[in-house]
């Protein structure tokens, strides 16, 4: 768990009632609308024809969004994190930088609200169960904040305390964020996102169930038994409830701090994480699908990586794993037609994309194949090709005939894969990805 000594985050009470959260969303919508009008006026004054999308996605509105979601926490903030992570290199740099704040720590609960939550979960007088309990959180995220404590028998533990009201507000928060996106024009009204929203709600309800997360953490710990590269904490059952999850405190530094580590260490850590994702996909049949950087910690003294947060752990559909195996096999074989066919079968693209935007799709496929098969390690820090993919992707997305949402099961796996690539880019790692991938696909017939 984090052992940060600094605390730059505000203490703001979590809006826990339905009325308070609805009011917060209303204020956010009003603020964004005001920003849209102001930006539109500016563009008209410059003689430009304002577009709704450009007027919405301004730095000022992105700042409003990041601040309000960090205050609301819960599913609202979680969806903001998902949007900022999934957009990756697709957002303009200045907006990506602002929205990245949503991926960082949330505001923390004030002490009296924390006390009320723990009184309800543990009963009054709970402080007497500890030799030490730090009331200031060492981390604060979308669903809960983490405190460091020492039990009476000397065990150092990290205690994740769920924010009040977030579990009960999941469905409404998801709907409200989706409504904001629709109203903003960032989501085309013709695009049916109901299946995606239903799955997001299901996943978030699972993440808010700390009993389930504790079970998933212990199962993952068993999978990592004997590993000399990864550490997974063990649950402290006597302090864990449905809304409080206690576990071993394992010291570590934010993995982003590896940016200043020697190239060899950055390469090794990134290769380890990629190898683990491949094991999840092709061996375990189970994946921790949240790619947030905060779920990894790094121990400079041992070189080991600490794995955290197993609320988003879910089974991988065997058909999804088979689709990725075909895609990777086709890519390594430098077979554009096979990649296109595999992408269609996996649901990444639709027949409409192929028929209406086939040339642009082939351009993207060619770029990916070329980058994947360059001699030597893949340089995650070299993002020159990303802008071309982004521009082609925007052109495809502008065509209504190409609008398409991949299957939900595939989307959750792709989130983890894309997030892992973003981490590699952050660390500017160089990894021979083909060496890691080849054992899983070398016997895969492309016509299967």
CA distances from 231 to 14, 138, 251 (A): 32, 19, 10
- Alpha carbons 76 and 119: distance in angstroms, whole number: 26
**Residue 367, Cα to own-chain centre: how many angstroms?**
25
Task: Calculate the CA dihedral of residues 262, 267, 273, 277 and round it to 10 degrees.
Answer: 170
Q: What is the DSSP letter of 110?
A: P
Specify whether the CB–CB gap between 99 and 67 falls below 8 A: no
Residue showing tokens 């709970």: 126
Count CB atoms within 10 A of the CB of residue 155: 15
In 122-242 the beta strands, taken as DSSP E runs, fall at 130-133, 139-140, 144-151, 156-162, 230-231
- Alpha carbons 332 and 372: distance in angstroms, whole number: 7
209, 267, 290, 309: which one is catalytic?
A: 290
Q: Active site includes 362? A: no
DSSP string, 388-405: HHHHHHHHHHT-GGG---
Please give the backbone phi and psi of residue 388, each rounded to the nearest 5 degrees, phi first: -65, -45
Q: What is the DSSP letter of 255?
A: G
Annotated catalytic residues are: 290
């Amino acid at each position: 768990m984090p052992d940060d000594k600094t605390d730059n985050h505000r203490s703001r009470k979590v809006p826990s009632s339905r009325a308070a959260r609805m009011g917060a969303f209303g204020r956010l919508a009003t603020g964004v609308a005001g920003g849209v009008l102001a930006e539109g006026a500016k563009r008209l004054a410059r003689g430009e024809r304002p577009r709704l999308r450009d007027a919405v996605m301004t730095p000022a509105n992105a700042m409003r969004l990041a601040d309000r979601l960090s205050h609301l926490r819960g599913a609202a903030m979680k969806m903001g994190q998902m949007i900022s992570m999934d957009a990756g290199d697709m957002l303009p740099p200045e907006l990506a930088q602002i929205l990245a704040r949503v991926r960082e720590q949330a505001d923390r609960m004030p002490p009296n609200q924390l006390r009320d939550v723990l009184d309800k979960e543990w009963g009054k007088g709970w402080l007497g169960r500890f030799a030490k309990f730090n009331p200031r959180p060492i981390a604060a995220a979308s669903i809960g904040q983490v405190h460091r404590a020492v039990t009476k028998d000397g065990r150092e533990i990290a205690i994740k305390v769920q924010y009040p009201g977030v579990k009960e507000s999941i469905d409404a928060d998801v709907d409200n964020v989706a409504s904001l996106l629709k109203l903003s024009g960032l989501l085309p009204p013709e695009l049916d996102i109901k299946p995606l929203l239903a799955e997001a709600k299901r996943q978030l309800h699972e993440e808010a169930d700390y009993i389930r997360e504790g079970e998933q953490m212990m199962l993952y710990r068993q999978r990592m038994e004997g590993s000399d590269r990864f550490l997974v904490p063990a649950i402290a059952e006597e302090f864990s409830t449905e809304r409080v999850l206690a576990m071993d405190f394992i010291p570590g530094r934010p993995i982003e701090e590896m940016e200043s580590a020697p190239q060899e260490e950055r390469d090794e850590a990134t290769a380890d994480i990629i190898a683990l994702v491949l094991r999840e996909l092709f061996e375990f049949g189970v994946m921790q699908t949240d790619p947030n950087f905060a779920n990894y910690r790094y121990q400079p003294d041992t070189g080991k990586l600490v794995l955290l947060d197993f609320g988003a752990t879910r089974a991988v559909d065997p058909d999804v794993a088979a689709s990725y195996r075909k895609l990777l096999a086709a890519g390594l074989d430098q077979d554009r037609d096979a990649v296109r066919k595999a992408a269609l079968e996996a649901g990444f693209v639709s027949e409409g994309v192929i028929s209406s935007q086939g040339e642009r799709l082939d351009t993207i496929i060619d770029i990916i194949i070329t980058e994947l098969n360059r001699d030597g390690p893949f340089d995650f820090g070299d993002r020159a090709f990303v802008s071309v993919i982004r521009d082609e992707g925007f052109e495809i997305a502008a065509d209504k005939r190409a609008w398409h949402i991949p299957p939900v099961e595939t989307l959750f796996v792709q989130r983890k894969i894309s997030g892992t690539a973003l981490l590699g880019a952050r660390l500017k790692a160089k990894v021979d990805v083909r060496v890691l991938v080849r054992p899983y696909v070398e016997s895969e017939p492309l016509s299967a």
